A and B are shown apart, each in its own frame.
Chain A
């Protein structure tokens, strides 16, 4: 849908209407059809939203949940990853959920923010000592959450000041004091 919206706004910029050409539909149909088929249940989506929010929480700036990072993860998993990676991820979510219920007597979603952070920190400590094949879930989850966050409009535009049209190149630009290492 985003692509259609973008095409529409492009049409406004160009001062005319643009019909979606046949080839674009051809590339698009695959994307749309696969996207309508989420890998996880609504409950698991809500769980994932709280997990990414715990990894990168709202502070005085938006957190990962507000930026839709959980939806980004599901889109990427669905469209860009092998079945095996998808299964590992869904299994990992399930397993995390069950572990939390067993130790806390409630779901991750109903835990306090402090408990959630504690759970994920413990998980990361375990991931650090286990070989990757024993713990494929957490490192992937953290990395793709960071990827989704850094590539979000908010972070690219507001923090990293992405410019679509820089109109310049300066090959010897002084580093401002604040950006120095």
Chain B
């Protein structure tokens, strides 16, 4: 019996455990297996194999029974997830069902989740802008949160490292607020977007319109062919999973790469209950899971644990990992765990039309858009609110048909599409300030189907966000007006936080263990063999789409973790 137990424990022991297989978990798996560590990846959802598990990827629009629309019964049963733009008939199988994964909203929060191997890396919007020191220095300069323990120079080589492997297309724009990276050829701004770029450049000093940097293979390199990935085919059906591996996902890239080393063990259907802390050893020894199907509790062991469950679930796991040493959650000596949670403000939009360039239109499709880097309060404080916003910008020329008449006359109208004016649109991506009062906490009574406490969300907008929405609407309207755009309309959706799917913080990095959870290497101050490298680690949010930064932080932390392990410091 003793031998059996020893064997069983041995079979459940690895060199490293990674919790989560999304964008950051995939990177942790790639880096750790690549350095020879036998690595177990725990994924709470089902397995999704690249290509073979993308059931809608080759379907034409008319092959969808409801032409893309989600049946009413499903939207009614899933009101939260139905608010996500990508929850459509072609990709709804990559989202969780609301009623299976309940949570408590003290304030409204739309928690958008994809529980499967690859997580939301299958569904992300693929914009990949670097941070600059204007972002890392934000909290210190403007006096909120705590100072980031790193600066641009610490992460820059790691941005390069992940960009080369993931494949990032972009233009070298030479902007200090949005550093250039290792770019594949950029996608193209269309003629109205170029026109707007020139207009903005001539009328404003520090405002720029660029093509967004994005994780699409515009010209695959050897490293991408080695991953089995090919050129982006401009289908713009990305959320179905890409059969060419044209955009970066864990499924197409990091996970198969990790598997090739022979060091990867994938364990889908593994709902992490907690991280096991050994008071005697003074470190974490493993992870306790509940099998999603059988509900069996199982323990796995390893000397290094990477937590990459996606920001909110990482908070849940850490809060639920209690011991006599850490009664308030793993590594939570400071009491800040689950606090200072923030997100991006996506409420506002401006749209309009342009009557020029009527001799041109667009042809084919483009999987990204234009991008306006943050121009407010960059070089100095200049408004009555802190920080600022980036903005998406795109122009397109739609076709329309006259719907007049009935019978042959109507048919003729429908079969004779006409080109309208160009339409232009922008959306806001605002930085929100992490606050002590923006919290995630465990409900004392409510549990989910796996016996894990439900999370309580207390995260909302503040006065700074309201001022920023107003400023965005004014400034973008001004820019549109100066460019000669017409029919300018503004809107504020007032959507709840969460739909941005950019939740960050709760286990922030910082220099001082008294006010932060993680050090400059994403290592827990108080539990040295646990690393958190997903959105939970973020000290502030900046305005850039965050995934690229998670990738870089993960690769950097894995490098450090293995070095420390070899020095026997973990």
Contact = CB atoms under 8 A, between A and B. Distances in A.
Contacts of B74: 27, 30
Contacts of B403: 142-143, 146
Nearest to A158: B415
Contact of A79 (B53, B71, B188, B408): B71
Interface in B392-441: 399, 401, 403, 406-408, 410-411, 414-415, 417-419
A159 B415 contact: yes
A108 to B, nearest CB: 14
Contacts of A129: none
Given A10-B58, A27-B93, A156-B60, A171 B190 contact: yes
Contact of A81 (B52, B72, B399): B72
Contacts of B408: 57, 59
Contact of A80 (B57, B71, B414): B71
A156 B235 CA distance: 15
Given A56-B414, A124-B406, A2 B65 contact: yes
B323 interface: no
A33 to B, nearest CB: 10
A134 interface: no
Of B57, B74, B406, most A-chain CB atoms within 10 Å: B406
Nearest to A63: B411
B234 A167 contact: yes
A31 B46 CA distance: 22
A14 B52 contact: yes
Given A14-B52, A159-B415, A173-B360, A21 B65 contact: no
Nearest to B399: A160
B411 A57 contact: yes
Contact of B406 (A3, A34, A54, A169): A54
B365 A166 contact: yes
Interface string A136-158: 00000011001101111101110
A120 B407 CA distance: 9
- Looking at A61, A172, A181, the one whose CB has the most chain B CB atoms below 10 A away is A172
B21 interface: no
Nearest to A54: B407
B188 A169 contact: yes
A2 B62 CA distance: 10
Nearest to A147: B67
Given A82-B72, A149-B414, A175-B419, A10 B62 contact: no
A21 B407 CA distance: 44
B285 to A, nearest CB: 34
B93 to A, nearest CB: 6
A155 B67 CA distance: 14
B447 interface: no
B414 A150 contact: yes
Contacts of B193: 171
A12 B115 CA distance: 28
A80 B418 CA distance: 30
Contacts of A181: 358, 418-419
Interface residues of A, number: 67
Nearest to A11: B52
Contacts of B63: 2-3, 6
Contacts of B187: 169
B533 interface: no
B72 A3 contact: no
Contacts of B406: 54-55, 117, 120-121, 124, 142
B93 A23 contact: yes
Interface in A97-149: 117, 120-121, 124, 142-143, 146-147, 149
Nearest to A59: B408
B72 A164 contact: no
B119 to A, nearest CB: 15
A181 B51 CA distance: 42
Contacts of A76: 66-67, 69
A24 B55 contact: yes
A30 B60 CA distance: 22
B359 interface: yes
Contacts of B72: 79-82
Interface in B339-380: 358-366
A168 B218 CA distance: 10
B65 A3 contact: yes
Given A23-B46, A156-B61, A173 B362 contact: yes
B548 interface: no
Given A76-B66, A156-B60, A174-B359, A165 B190 contact: no
Contacts of A42: none
A18 interface: yes
A38 interface: no
Contacts of A27: 74, 92-93
A102 B363 CA distance: 52
B396 to A, nearest CB: 10
Interface string A1-35: 01100110110011010100101100100110011
13 contacts: A2-B63, A21-B53, A56-B407, A72-B67, A75-B66, A150-B414, A155-B414, A164-B237, A169-B234, A169-B363, A169-B365, A171-B190, A181-B418
Interface of A: 2-3, 6-7, 9-10, 13-14, 16, 18, 21, 23-24, 27, 30-31, 34-35, 54-57, 59, 61, 63, 72, 75-76, 79-82, 117, 120-121, 124, 142-143, 146-147, 149-153, 155-157, 159-160, 162-175, 179-181
9 cross-chain pairs, A with B, having the tightest CB-CB distances, nearest first: A171-B190, A173-B363, A168-B364, A166-B364, A169-B366, A170-B363, A172-B191, A153-B62, A79-B71
Given A18-B55, A79-B72, A175-B419, 7 more contacts: A7-B55, A163-B364, A164-B235, A169-B188, A170-B188, A172-B360, A173-B362
